[in-house]
Amino acid sequence: MPVFPVSRFARIGLGPALIAFGLLTGGAQAQSNPLVPTLVVDAETGEVIEANQATRPWYPASTTKLMTAYVALRAVKTGAITLDTPIVVSPLASKQRPSKIGVKPGQEVTLDNALKFLMVKSANDIAVVVAEGVAGSVENFAVMMNREASRLGMRESHWVNPHGWEDARQYSSARDLAILARALLTEFPEHSDLWGIGALKLGNRVYNNTNGLMGRYSGAMGMKTGFICASGFNLVGAAQRNGRTLIAVVLGASNGADRTLKAAQLLDAGFNAGRGWGATTNGRTLESLTASFETTAPNRRHEICGKGAPPASEVEDTGAAIVQVHSDNPSALVTLQRAPSEALAVGQRSGNSIQLGPRATFEPLPVYLGRAPGSTAVARRAGQPAERAQATAFAPQNPRASGAPLVLPGAITAPGRLDAGNARPGAQAAIRPATRPPAANLGPGVSRNTVAAPEKAKVDAKAKTSAKVKADSKVKADGKAKANGKARADAKQRPPKTQAETRQRAATSSLQP
């Protein structure tokens, strides 16, 4: 995963008063808010370094799309679909509310490009495309989401849609989202590039990732943001430093800049834990966190969006860089700042105002609508049952940049035995009994000539029997003819008994040559 270094703010000495203001308001320790769930965990060990309200139910918003991606990648791993499989956009998908790409019914998009749109643009129409392509319907996909969540131990989560729009039946927690993020990083390292794409380019349009850690926090690996009025601004982020990977979760922040800075401070705290700055590990794990006494997710619509029009998107607060001050006295720094802070490069808080620092520029990754060049794969569409991708011979394409194995595109066939009961419409006519046994079923050392020999013997025997019947019939016919001829000769030699017989014999004799 590439690391996008961020230039440090200009450093000037402005006196002890400004030093104290700058470091204490933008220091490494995440400010505690009793309402906002937060958590930072070691991705390798599962050890929880800091947690606040981590098991409280919360609306996940678009962090839901991490679960959507997980289910899709599991389907790829099991062979149920490939990254090159084209998926047909349904009317339902095209009607989803923003954020969206704006795909039209009947258009096709590969699963690979769909996952990229999902992670960077957070497109709700594409989330439905993925769900219908993998499971046939949103409802079936939700069943798969809940099954996988249960298997992973996400005990505070329930899913009904693949995009995260507000629904009282859909909720999660900081703990569960950390479990999910950890599963994505550990189970699918070959797809780690999905979480860290800085920007996409579709035709003339460029979509920038809304994760404010990327391009600002050194070692940031990406992951996913989320926002609806009911939840506030959510962020699941990950970062690497010195071979160690941490995951930070922030739910319910007041704006995009707030969630970015909180996540950076959590990551700082995690990387500095046990490094001699006063923070120590405590042995807690994601599994051992105590369940919350809250049983429903709070609705923060009035607090987040009630004072004005709701934000049009998840776009974060941005602005010019703030000058960060440092002292030449190391002891003063230790007194005011407990640990080295990458968060200071991300942004700074002044009262209720947060100003984010400059962000590195990303080279957009090209994406496209339609199937992969040269693909002959059968497209998926809504209403089809979940199917298994069958690999066929093909000309190899360029491998993914992450070094993932090549994927074999191929025709789609239903899982299990193909019969009239589970075949797709139109497929039944193609089911035919074999006229000859396939070579694989003849057994070792047995050739087709060997199998055909008994059949040839049966044919020869039948021919002999038919010839014998004909010969017997001819003998019988000859014998009957001789008997009839002898009877007529005897009749000629016998004297006629009556005058009528005498006349008949005379007439017959006159007709003979």
Dump pLDDT digits (tens) for 157-167.
999 999 999 99
% pLDDT > 90, the chain: 52
Q: What is the pLDDT of residue 492?
A: 54
For the chain, the C-alpha Rg in angstroms (whole number) is: 40
Q: Are 11 and 367 a contacting pair, CB within 8 Å?
A: no
Q: What is the pLDDT of residue 270?
A: 94
271-285, 395-409, 460-474 — which one is most confidently predicted on average?
A: 271-285
Q: What is the pLDDT of residue 24?
A: 35
Say which residues have a Cβ less than 8 Å from residue 92's Cβ, sequence separation at least 6.
128, 132, 138, 382
Residues 268, 217: Cα–Cα separation, whole Å: 10
Residues present in the chain in total: 513
Q: Are 357 and 6 a contacting pair, CB within 8 Å?
A: yes
Residues 447, 159: Cα–Cα separation, whole Å: 57
pLDDT tens, 404-450? Answer: 433 333 333 333 333 333 333 333 333 333 343 444 444 444 444 44
Backbone angles phi and psi of 120, in degrees to 5? -95, -55
Q: What is the pLDDT of residue 14?
A: 31
pLDDT tens, 11-58? Answer: 333 333 323 333 333 333 444 455 789 999 999 999 999 999 999 999
Q: What is the pLDDT of residue 219?
A: 94
CATH architecture assignment, domain 11-365:
3-Layer(aba) Sandwich (3.40)
Residues 314-337 have a mean pLDDT of 33
pLDDT tens, 236-275? Answer: 999 999 999 999 999 999 999 999 999 999 999 999 986 5
Residue 346, SS3 per DSSP? helix
Residues 186, 285: Cα–Cα separation, whole Å: 16
Residues 382-402 have a mean pLDDT of 48
For the chain, domain boundaries: 11-365, 476-508
- The DSSP 8-state label assigned to residue 200 in this structure reads E
Q: Are 185 and 238 a contacting pair, CB within 8 Å?
A: yes
Q: By C-alpha distance, which of 47, 54, 52, 55 is closest to 31?
A: 52
Average per-residue pLDDT in the chain? 74
Residues 68-90 have a mean pLDDT of 97
Please check the confidence at residue 156 and state whether its pLDDT lies above 70.
yes
Q: What is the pLDDT of residue 436?
A: 39
197-201, 269-273, 279-283 — which one is most confidently predicted on average?
A: 197-201
CA distances for 387 relative to 85, 220, 390, angstroms = 12, 36, 9
Residues 338-361 have a mean pLDDT of 74
Residue 496, SS3 per DSSP? coil
Where b means 16+ CB within 10 Å and e means fewer, 230-261 reads bbbbbbbbbbbeeeebbbbbbbbbbbbbbbbb
Instruction: Report residue 457's pLDDT band, with 50, 70 and 90 as the boundaries.
Output: low
Which residues are paired to 38 by β-bridges? 52, 250
The tokens describing 5, both together, are 């270094």
Q: What is the pLDDT of residue 346?
A: 80
Residues 333-350 have a mean pLDDT of 56
- The DSSP 8-state label assigned to residue 158 in this structure reads B
Instruction: Report residue 281's pLDDT band, with 50, 70 and 90 as the boundaries.
Output: low
Strands (E) across 9-163 are located at: 11-12, 38-42, 48-52, 86-88, 108-110
Residues 465, 300: Cα–Cα separation, whole Å: 94
Residues 380, 220: Cα–Cα separation, whole Å: 35
Please check the confidence at residue 388 and state whether its pLDDT lies above 70.
no
Is this structure's pTM higher than 0.85?
no
Q: What is the pLDDT of residue 464?
A: 61
Q: What is the pLDDT of residue 404?
A: 42
Q: What is the pLDDT of residue 506?
A: 56
% pLDDT > 70, the chain: 59
